[in-house]
Amino acid sequence: MKEIFDNYQFGKFNIKSCIIRSGLWESENGPQKSLSPKIFERYESLAKNNVGLIISELISLYTHDRFSDYSYYINSPYFIKEFKSLTEMVHEYEVPIFAQLGFINCNVNGKQMMEVNDLTIEDIRKIQADYVMGAKKIAFSGFDGIQLNFGNNYFPSRVMDPFENQREDEYGGNTYNRVRMNIEIIKLIKKITGLHIHCRVNLYKDFDDSLEICRILAENSADSLQITKFLSPQYFRKSLSNENMLVDFADKVAEEVSIPVVLGGGFSNMDSINKLINSTNVNFISMQRPFVRNPGFLSKWKENGYGESECKTCNNCYWKKESKCLIK
Ligand code: SF4
């Protein structure tokens, strides 16, 4: 019988629980856009309270594609210095930390709001080069891994989407071609850094094609996957059929690939998590909003042997794009 607070192997990392903290949006910035003491406090609270792995708040690949007033962006002149201090602090608690990197709107090579089918090969190379530069900074900053946001409505997820990608060149058509841009990104990052590559991937409308996308990523150097959907999985968990669909998909992916598979979204109590890890092939659960409500709740769960998140799932922190709870 598996338990939430067993030791788990996640790639090369031995982690102290199966719970992965996913980052949301940032809500605090200090003077000159530096990381504020409150951010350090939040990460310290996460690290010392039995989380298995921390994934940062969203870091934008492009400065103009920031998601909130406070979002980090990879080209900040303070990035390496600031995040090096943060990762060193988290490592004192022997917890690995990954950086979440993504972009939504595609504005490269002087062009605005490009669609998947409009990208030239030069545009694809530009995006790939930007990921490589971003990954280098992330590695220099002491992160253990990178979460490549190939899911939800991030642009790279739209490149893999069979309904959106109608290209007729080597970056469109069959499943492998649609994943090609992203696996080239993974391989380039692997060549120049030792980062663990964690990919966020959608269950699209076509179950089998989505499964094939996961297989291709796993066979082409991805080190772990997080299963999600176009919209936040929290919406889908409100409907039983959609909830089961996402669980079934993650279960099938975990059966087919030999890398860790994380299921994200909507879990709020120990019982449901213990049930999931013991009745499916999925070993890892990602949680976001419960940590926004209380970054240290896992220690309470561990101590009591049971627990329910204090988050009311109102989703205000998501809509306001803040990583702080807005409910008193
Ligand atoms: S704002 Fe709502 S969804 Fe966000 S942490 Fe607070 S209770 Fe949860």
Q: Going by CA atoms, what residue is nearest to atom 8 of ligand 1?
A: 311
Write out pLDDT tens, residues 31-58.
Answer: 666 788 999 999 999 999 999 999 999 9
Mean pLDDT (the chain, rounded)? 92
> Would 324 be classed as within a structural domain?
no
53 lines ligand 1 (CB under 6 A): no
pLDDT band at 83; cut points 50, 70, 90: very high
Which atom of ligand 1 sits closest to the CA of residue 293? 5
Most confident of 261-270, 278-287, 304-313: 278-287
> Would 182 be classed as within a structural domain?
yes
Report the domain count for the chain: 1
324 lines ligand 1 (CB under 6 A): no
> Would 184 be classed as within a structural domain?
yes
- Domain around 155: 8-319
> Would 39 be classed as within a structural domain?
yes
pTM, full prediction: 0.94
pLDDT for the residue 240: 42
> Would 326 be classed as within a structural domain?
no
269 lines ligand 1 (CB under 6 A): no
What's the CA gap between 92 and 139, in Å, rounded? 18
- With a cut of 70, say whether residue 231 has pLDDT above it: no
| DSSP-derived secondary structure letter, 269 | B
By CB atoms closer than 10 A (0-12, 13-18, 19+), residue 245 is: middle
> Would 325 be classed as within a structural domain?
no
What's the CA gap between 159 and 177, in Å, rounded? 10
User: Which secondary-structure segment (H or E) carries 216?
Assistant: helix 207-219
Distances (CA, A) of 186 to 22, 136, 181, 189, 254: 20, 13, 9, 5, 20
> Would 32 be classed as within a structural domain?
yes
> Would 1 be classed as within a structural domain?
no
75 lines ligand 1 (CB under 6 A): no
CATH number at residue 116: 3.20.20.70
